Structure 1
């Protein structure tokens, strides 16, 4: 047995939400440089956004950023990223089982129809984006801004960024790109959670592994790959649209059409490798952490109840 044993009693909603938020923050800290590299590659077609510097590949992008802007640039927007995960992951992951049970009418989760799982994933993903959208806008803009010597930074701090966007672009600015973001995160959430669910259940059903770290690792890695393939096109449009100056694109659909006509269909898979490296590693760290934190919290809860 590797890691903590699964609890005999299903964890309550509060434990699930807190575990999801904590695990997602851990995963974000570990994989944030890959996410930043992904954003820089995705906006590569916009000359004004990259300052004439060309990025080539995941590690080439990271190397260029460290050389031209310093190592700290890889963690631009981390504060907003952690704020996002506390709001976002706690809802989309923490509420998933509850919403799934609601749609199934309380039936055995191991025999649920795939469509029920997909519907639950899309629902919690859309709910989470509705709450966390401003944090996502600020995170993307921090990751996209360059910190070259002598150049003025677009934003000086996270709270200043929220204030600046609100004063200059209004409330709509903080929720800019919400439609592609809801689409992207509904896709990501249902693909990620449903794939993880199905792979994990298949492994356990066929007794290939026990319900522990190796099983969680394999399930999470598979979920990361499938999610990247499905979500990359919408993710690129979301990043471009969120980072664009006021008036550059009329809408998210206009952004997608401009990309198609000017850069071709391959533009929708710009940054695919960092997206996969990031989502694959993020899923592994997050799901493994989530399972272990959830079990640790249940053990702590039982001990507290035993002493009272």
Structure 2
């Protein structure tokens, strides 16, 4: 992602932010059913009623959701998801190179691992605070069900924003910021740094050229590493964000409740859909991101990376 492209043309910061936002939205549209399945599997165990549907596996969850609540339920919360990518992914990915250069200025010509990690921490943290309301609404819309006489809490995206703000206050829109911040700092660092290092290694060792196959392999590696490290925090974040007021007193209380009632494996609920989601999302996003950057730079003024 960083360094010269195949044409030795450095994309501008504006091009990177725009490309990241568009690529993230494309990836979200394609992989959103996997994200919905992940959320449903993660919150499974909260409802102890005998009527509660038990989801089994990724395909089983998607199939059950489509049969019981309709195919469109798989895309419930998509508008908020796209809003999240525009406000969140565009910044954390689009600004990564620029922030990395800031931490590297005057120190080295090639960014060190420390500079890469610092850049991932910074862009991930800033983006979370800006995009958290969209995350809250997305998760709640994905989690709500109309089965067994349950009345949906929200009728749509903007209705959810309004109800949360009026019943829980503006702070309700930033509910779960701490676990989400932890999760996304882990994701951002692991995702971007792993992609960066893997891509550099493949190109440097002449295993692959800086092109689509290289981007594909680097993105898939980044998706797997990210899923392993972020899964426990992701499950706690989903549970806490989706919970009604008073169910959990704090994020640690949510984690302890899960541990005592459901055991350690509860923190890895939805791991397979998480990996399928993150892996496929990374592949689609990074491939689109790299290609879109190059197309945009070819159509505009160029800047030599060597200067």
TM-score range, shorter chain: over 0.9
The aligned counterpart of 1:296 is: 295
Tell me the residue number matched to 1:250. Answer: 249
Q: Kindly tell me: are residues 141 and 92 of structure 1, through their superposed partners in 2, closer, same or farther at Cα, counting changes over 3 Å?
A: same
Matches of residues 207-286 of structure 1 in structure 2 within 5 Å? 207-286=206-285
* 1:26-105 alignment, distance < 5 Å: 26-47=26-47, 52-105=52-105
C-alpha distance in structure 2 between counterparts of 1:302 and 1:100, whole Å? 23
Alignment partners' CA distance in 2, 1:32 and 1:51:
26
| Partner Cα distance (1:107, 1:218) in 2 | 30
Contact 2:137 2:157 in 1 (8 A): yes
**2:305 counterpart residue number:** none
Within 1, Cα distance between the matches of 2:63 and 2:129?
Answer: 35
What TM-score, normalized to structure 1? 0.93
In 2, Cα distance between the equivalents of 1:11 and 1:44?
44
> Retained in 1: the 8 A contact 2:20–2:89?
yes
Provide the C-alpha distance between the structure 2 equivalents of 1:108 and 1:22, rounded to a whole number of angstroms. 32
Q: Name stretches of at least 5 consecutive residues in structure 1 with no aligned partner.
A: 304-308
Q: Which residues of 2 match residues 194-205 of structure 1 at below 5 A?
A: 194-205=193-204
Q: CA deviation at 1:7?
A: 3.8
Structure 2 equivalent of residue 180 of structure 1: 179
Q: For residues 272 and 139 of structure 1, do their structure 2 counterparts lie closer, same or farther at Cα, with a shift above 3 Å needed?
A: same
DSSP-derived class of the 2:53 partner: coil
Aligned to 2:142: 143
Question: Cα gap change, 1:177/1:51 in structure 2, threshold over 3 Å: closer, same or farther?
Answer: farther
Query: Residue 89 of structure 1 contacts residue 128 of structure 1 at CA under 8 Å; is this kept in 2?
Result: yes
Equivalent pair of 2:80/2:134 in contact (CA under 8 Å): yes
Following superposition, the deviation at residue 58 of structure 1 comes to 0.5
Q: For 1:55, what is the secondary structure of its paired residue? A: coil
Q: Where do 5+ consecutive residues of structure 2 fail to align? A: 303-307
**What SS does the aligned partner of 2:147 have?**
coil
Per-residue CA deviations over 1:168-225 (Å, capped at 9, x if unaligned) read 0001100000000000000000000000000000000000111100000000000000
